[in-house]
């Protein structure tokens, strides 16, 4: 398990993380969501032991990670930049990391190398961005750590490269229950790979949820009402529906048609709506991005941030 307990990280007068608490269980595919500058990369650098917190704790399997060689052996961090590896060939990079990670597997390295077809003896600074990302993912998986951290893992990759990298990660998660933590501002990427996600905004955790639970608990309902006897269109407010026990995240009405974003059991929501004698009630599927945006609005956050690009 990875734990952050009331973690604070400052850079001079800037507070990057403000009392963050998280628990990430082993075997989880965990997503860190947030706009650029939200604090995602800072969390990954704290978990990997690059940074030390000003206050609070960062623990891996119950041990503080900073300045702890044994704890760091359990983590491999893939930065969003690969410039530091440019002078290495893939062969030299493999030998470099074998010196630090005692569980390094030549077998895994060779298997993944064959799948990608990357050259062993060319300098990494001659690789395309996608090839560089594949190279460091191969190294990370071959190190056989318990935890793999990826910062903006798929950013800038073309669709083919994204599929290749994702497949390598998913295979490792299934084969040996690798715990993977992926940061991204792209909700679609997190939705495809992760089973749990935390949303970070201005250095704070907005919420941390199981993605399937999120999808099953928020609903978009289109409701069409019969006109009144005088031919007028019934007019309702968000509060009218909330009085029926429905937790409303968003409400809008255009003529006789209402669109309601509601949270809770869908059968209970539809039963409550029947008190308004609708002519038609239709449940419309929501994307994960839409769900998060509506929840952010309710919490008072600005949903115009580039989360879900």
| All structural domains of the chain | 2-202 (3.40.50.300), 214-299 (3.30.70)
Enumerate helices (H) and strands (E) in the chain, giving the number of each.
Answer: 11, 14
Cα 238 from chain centroid? 31
Separation CA 309–CA 164 (nearest Å)? 21
Q: What is the mean pLDDT of residues 133-142?
A: 92
Percent composition of the chain: helix, strand, coil (DSSP 3-state, to 5): 35, 30, 35
Split at pLDDT 50, 70, 90, the class of 211 is confident
Q: Which of 110-119, 252-261, 286-295 is the least confident region? A: 286-295
Task: Give pLDDT, residue 73.
Answer: 92
**Backbone φ/ψ region at 5: left (φ over 0), alpha (ψ -120 to 50), beta:** beta
Who has greater pLDDT, 307 or 203?
Answer: 203
Q: Quickly state the pLDDT bin for 302 (edges 50, 70, 90).
A: low
pLDDT of the residue at 50: 93
Q: What is the pLDDT of residue 303?
A: 53
> Which tokens hold the place of 270?
């539809």
Is 24 in contact with 134 (CB distance < 8 Å)? Answer: no
Q: What is the mean pLDDT of residues 92-108?
A: 93
pLDDT tens, position by position, 41-83 = 999 999 999 999 999 999 999 999 999 999 999 999 998 776 7
Distances (CA, A) of 19 to 150, 204, 205: 22, 7, 9
Chain mean pLDDT for the chain: 87
Task: Kindly state the percentage of the chain with pLDDT values over 90.
Answer: 43
Q: H or E element: which one contains 266?
A: helix 266-273
Q: Which residues contact 112 (CB under 8 A, 6 or more apart)?
A: 137, 138, 141, 142, 168
Which residues, 6 or more positions from 195, have their beta carbon under 8 angstroms from its beta carbon?
Answer: 28, 29, 30, 210, 211, 212
pLDDT at position 188 is 80
């Amino acid at each position: 398990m990875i734990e952050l307990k009331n973690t604070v990280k400052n850079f001079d007068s800037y507070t990057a993380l403000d009392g963050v608490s998280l628990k990430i269980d082993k075997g989880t595919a965990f997503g860190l969501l947030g706009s650029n500058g939200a604090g995602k990369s800072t969390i990954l650098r704290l978990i990997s032991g690059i940074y030390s917190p000003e206050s609070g704790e960062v623990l891996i399997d119950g041990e503080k990670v900073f300045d702890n060689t044994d704890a760091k052996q359990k983590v491999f961090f893939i930065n969003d930049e690969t410039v530091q590896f440019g002078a290495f060939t893939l062969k030299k990079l493999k030998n470099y990391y074998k010196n630090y990670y005692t569980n390094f597997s030549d077998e895994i390295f060779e298997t993944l190398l064959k799948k990608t077809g990357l050259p062993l003896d060319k300098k990494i600074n001659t690789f395309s961005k996608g090839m560089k990302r594949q190279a460091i993912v191969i190294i990370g998986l071959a190190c056989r750590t318990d935890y793999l951290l990826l910062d903006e893992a798929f950013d800038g990759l073309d669709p083919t490269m994204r599929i290749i990298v994702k497949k390598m990660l998913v295979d490792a998660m299934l084969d040996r229950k690798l715990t993977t933590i992926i940061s991204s501002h792209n909700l679609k990427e997190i939705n495809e790979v992760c089973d749990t996600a935390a949303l970070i905004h201005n250095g704070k955790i907005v919420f941390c949820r199981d993605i399937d639970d999120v999808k099953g608990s928020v609903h978009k309902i289109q409701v069409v009402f019969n006109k009144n006897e005088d031919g007028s269109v019934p007019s309702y407010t968000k509060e009218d529906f909330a009085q029926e026990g429905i937790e409303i995240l968003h409400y809008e009405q255009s003529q006789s048609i209402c669109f309601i974003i509601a949270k809770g059991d869908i059968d209970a929501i539809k039963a409550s709506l029947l008190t308004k004698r609708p002519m038609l009630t239709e449940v419309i599927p929501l994307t994960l991005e839409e769900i998060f945006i509506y929840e952010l609005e309710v919490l008072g956050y600005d949903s115009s941030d580039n989360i879900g690009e």
